[in-house]
Amino acid sequence: MKVQHTRVNFEDLTVGGDTPLHRLDSRVKIIFVVVLLFGIAALLHPEIPIVIFTLSTLTSLVIGISPGTLLKRLIVPFSIAIVVLVVVAFTYGGSDEIWYFRGFSVYNESLSFALLLFTRLMASISVLNLFIVVTPVTDAMDALRWFRVPNVVVDLAAMMLRYIQLLSKENVRMTQAKESRCGFSDRLGYVKRMKNLGETGGALILRAFNRSERVYMAMLSRGYSVNSRIVRCKPLAIENALLCVGSIVMVLSLVYIDRVLI
């Protein structure tokens, strides 16, 4: 029995660089991404989402992410998008039937709506992937504090990202230790291998609880509270504020073009 050793490392999601997108204020990027996602959801035609997907993908390649890495990041969400495309195409009703297959009808309206949903998902996923590539997790957390997101939410998110990574590394070490003792040998029965796997998972959960208690006590001993000001965000510069306004105007213009001119 082979157990896959997969370690989660959120630092690997970010591609370092000195491009304008890397230097751009994280608050501007968050505002632009959120507004753009709402704008994509408001589009009624697939042309603009396809353009957004193409531009986001090309930008990701230009700033240094390899095609193989980009494909690995997009293949899972795109697989889900394809499932949505197929399901909606066969279940969404209509009046203009264009294909019939074993009791399932595909209508022109259902196919158009499925294609629209698929392109929306493609565009949204590519935009979020580009945002993750050029924005470190710490900068994103600091920006959320500036947006007055409750401290307990930001702290919890930051700790989850940190300790998921640590627990994944610990899980790899525990699994390798169990394998070195033939805990997952093919000579063992299936029930015994599942028992060993359950013991490893249970030990990992217990270690996670113990670690959380120790970390929380250490934080309290250093004066931490819900209202602690761990990071003090600098004021938003005038040029960044103008970029925020410009990004909102641009997204509204795309929605206007989609609904009126196309």
Q: Could you tell me the residue ranges of all domains in the chain?
A: 14-136+236-261, 151-221
**56-104 pLDDT, tens per residue?**
999 988 888 888 888 888 888 888 888 888 888 777 776 766 767 666 7
Per-residue pLDDT band at 231 (split at 50, 70, 90): low
**104-157 pLDDT, tens per residue?**
777 777 788 889 999 999 999 999 988 988 888 888 888 888 888 887 788 788
For the stretch 58-67, contacts whose Cβ atoms lie closer than 8 Å and that sit 24 or more positions apart, written own/partner, are 59/21, 59/130, 60/126, 60/129, 60/130, 60/133, 63/15, 63/17, 63/19, 63/21, 63/22, 63/133, 63/134, 64/15, 64/16, 64/17, 65/15, 65/133
Question: What is the per-residue pLDDT for 94?
Answer: 67
Percent share of the chain, pLDDT over 70: 84
Most confident of 3-7, 27-31, 131-135, 179-183: 27-31
- Among 132, 188, 126, CA closest to 161: 132
Q: What is the mean pLDDT of the chain?
A: 80
Helix axes 47-62 and 67-91, enclosed angle (nearest 10): 160
Q: What is the pTM of this model?
A: 0.74
Question: What is the per-residue pLDDT for 6?
Answer: 47
Task: Say which residues have a Cβ less than 8 Å from residue 59's Cβ, sequence separation at least 6.
Answer: 21, 130
Per-residue pLDDT band at 249 (split at 50, 70, 90): very high
In this model, does residue 19 exceed pLDDT 90?
no
Question: What is the per-residue pLDDT for 7?
Answer: 47
Q: Which residue has the higher pLDDT, 48 or 203?
A: 48
Mind giving me the DSSP string for 117-170? Answer: HHHHHHHHHHHHHHHHHHS-HHHHHHHHHHTT--HHHHHHHHHHHHHHHHHHHH
Mind giving me the DSSP string for 88-118? Answer: HHHHS--S-EEEEETTEEEEHHHHHHHHHHH
Question: What is the per-residue pLDDT for 135?
Answer: 85
